[in-house]
Amino acid sequence: MALFSSGCGGFHRAWNQQQVRNSAVNHPQEASIAGAWTGHWESTANGHHGALRCLITAKENHRYQAWYHAKYLKWFSYSYKVEMVVDPLDPLLTFHGQADLGTLAGGEYQYKGSVSNQVFRATYQARKDHGIFQMERPGKK
């Protein structure tokens, strides 16, 4: 259980700080992938699903760090960071990357997606799993 909740406290603190920054500005960065996102994930391989939040931070050379916090079976949560590479010439802000999340989390994942109209959509693929992430800015409805 400790493995699946590792890093969650740090994520929650960072999430709350981002919400304070967003409310001070009145809106998140509209033309960027950076900032807070919330939504859900779903495995199309086995039907598992859950809530998903993400904090994306801009790095250098069209690279971003995505810090995900996913819920699984309502009781478990898992927090992890991955690097995303954004295509600077694509107005849809398409991105891709890969990460090894360890044996218990499914191993090596490859992912790709896009952000359009402030909706984040991505697909992921691993040896034994594949599915989707779909998120939007917090408070957007």
Enumerate helices (H) and strands (E) in the chain, giving the number of each: 1, 8
pLDDT value of residue 107? 86
pLDDT in tens, 16-29: 676 656 554 444 44
Phi and psi dihedrals of 105, rounded to 5? -100, 10
**Averaged over 108-130, what is the pLDDT?**
92
The confidence band for 15, taking pLDDT boundaries of 50, 70 and 90, is confident
Q: Residue 117 pLDDT > 70, yes or no?
A: yes
Which pair of structure tokens corresponds to residue 98? 């890969």
Domains in the chain (CATH in brackets) are: 8-136 (2.40.128.120)
Alpha helices in the chain, H assignment, sequence order: 8-25
User: CB–CB of 41/132 below 8 Å?
Assistant: yes
Q: Residue 10 pLDDT > 90, yes or no?
A: no
Q: How many whole angstroms separate alpha carbon 59 and alpha carbon 31?
A: 16
Indicate the residue type of 103.
T
Mean pLDDT of the chain: 82
Instruction: Determine if the pTM surpasses 0.85.
Output: no
pLDDT in tens, 26-72: 444 445 789 999 999 999 999 999 999 999 999 999 999 999 999 98
Q: Which residues pair with 110 in a beta bridge?
A: 98, 125
Q: How many whole angstroms separate alpha carbon 70 and alpha carbon 117?
A: 23
